[in-house]
Amino acid sequence: MAAVPLGSFLVDSPSARRDLARARAALDAGELTDAAGHLATALAHAPTLPETHELLSRLAARAGGALDLFPLEPHPPVGRIVARAHLLAAAGRPEDGLPLLVAASGQTPAADWAGVPWVQEPALGARIEPGLLARTVMRLCTTVGDPAPAESVNALRPYLAVVRHAVAAHGEHAMLLGAGSALARRLGEVRLAVDWAARGSRSQPSKLGEIWLGYAYRSAGRMPEALAALRRAVAYDPDDLSVYADVAATLADLGRLDEALRWTELALERDPAFDCVVHTAHRLRYRADGDVAHLVALADFIRDHPDDAHEHTDLEECCRNTPWLGGLPAGPSPAAGRAPVNAEPSADAVRRLLRIASTSWPHPPAAYDRALGLVLVEPWELLAMLAHPAVAETGEPAGIEVWACLGLLHHGTDEPWLDSSRRRLLLGLIEGDVDRVTQAALFALVTYAWVDPDARDDVAAVVAGRLSEVASGPQARAVAELALAAPGLDRPTRELAAATIRVPAVPRQRGRGRSLLRWRRE
């Protein structure tokens, strides 16, 4: 293996240093297998530490290349994958090593697996077969997100350098240009993404080329051009319903919502369960009228189709920053005015609650799932933590009451809902003046209605009744926000809740009892 300039490496790790020392001792003792194991672990901790690569070179010299010491049986450790990639490059086969680094980046995109000189050598881009590189880059794109997380961008840039060199060497290879555009888009190189996608679509017109071009235009904010490209993609393959969803989303971004909904309806006529279209259709319907029923229907679809081919974020995006759908409402909420309970929750119960407490969640079913760990906390302890100093004095962010009430949902789940102890406890908590505990208990009921269709009529009746009780008072807005998140409400109740939200809020009266926790966003 060629010597590596020290300036090329920046990452260090005490754990890697320890493993490196053990690898050096094993190598000196002739224990090559042990040395290989320690080197793989060191690479996993600090993939660009120069001493590790120098020792890997020594091992390769001692063991005839050392590839046999880093086998790729099913599910090998990531350090072994990376070590084998570097050894292949040292053996004059960098084109075989690059896909292994991509596999490592797919596991942990923020790690600097490719931050080594041989990856960015122009010779690699020139010698690697462009179709192979395109497939390798496409595999990488499927694992890193669009856009890539900010903390991953710098670690992934070496792969973009490989594509640049390959494009310079191989010219107008359509698949390479399209895959390179997809990677450039994910890394924030929007102009490059548009340029490469346009060149690829001109070089070899195709459905995939137009899709790549449409996505590149979308990232650049050039929505009319994106729409034109996606329409051309539909013309290539009218049976690909995923492109219909892309066209609909682009039309919606252009403000043409009615036309966007017609595209989803057209696709759903062909396949009512096509996941990309179902997600897009429910999102756009919610955008059109704000009725939470569309999001509940989407949550039901997700629950009934756990093996969808693609990962979707439509439900989370619709719920984000919306009171109760994606977290606690902004601004102060009525303080808890309940009498302290005498029971003392255990320290373990308090820790479990605080471990999951948060002021935000992706959507109500996700909040329900997050509270599952509280099945290990007894119901009486969850109730005790609603008003106990052991919780109030932690100084933790608001939301403790919400998670305690959500935790109650996971107890006695074998009991029919209408006769269940969890329902009875939560109904007891919503009585009296509206305060933080009341809101938390109402939200737990609303959340359960999201995850159990059989409970929806009952919960809708409870929420409607509570809203009717407070409709003319200063606490109406607090209940109305919860009502708008509840499944199954009749139209008059929804209209009452919406009208209450639109009316300027009356200053809330804080409860007379001691405040449990600050009610704020972090």
The residue to which tokens 């029971």 are assigned: 343
| Residue 237 · residue 205 · CB < 8 Å | no
* % of the chain surpassing 90 pLDDT: 78
Distance of CA 296 to the CA centre of its chain: 19
Q: Which residues of the chain have pLDDT under 50?
A: 1-11, 395-396, 504-522
Q: What is the pLDDT of residue 388?
A: 64
DSSP 310: S
Cα four-point dihedral sign 395, 396, 397, 403: negative
State how far the Cα of 475 lies from the Cα of 38, in Å rounded to an integer: 63
**Domain boundaries defined on the chain:** 347-502
Q: What is the pLDDT of residue 308?
A: 66
| Residue 155 · residue 115 · CB < 8 Å | yes
The candidate with the shortest Cα–Cα distance to 50, out of 100, 98, 1, 7, is 7
End-to-end CA distance of the chain: 50
Q: What is the pLDDT of residue 415?
A: 96
Q: Write out pLDDT tens, residues 103-146.
A: 999 999 999 999 999 999 999 999 999 999 999 999 999 999 88
Give the DSSP letter string of 203-214: HS--HHHHHHHH
Global pTM value = 0.84
Q: What is the pLDDT of residue 473?
A: 86
> Could you tell me how many residues make up the chain?
522
State how far the Cα of 148 lies from the Cα of 500, in Å rounded to an integer: 41
- The set of long-range contacts for 210-217, using a CB threshold of 8 Å and a minimum separation of 24, is 210/236, 211/243, 211/246, 212/178, 212/179, 212/181, 212/182, 213/181, 214/246, 214/250, 215/181, 215/182, 215/185, 215/246, 216/181, 216/185, 216/190
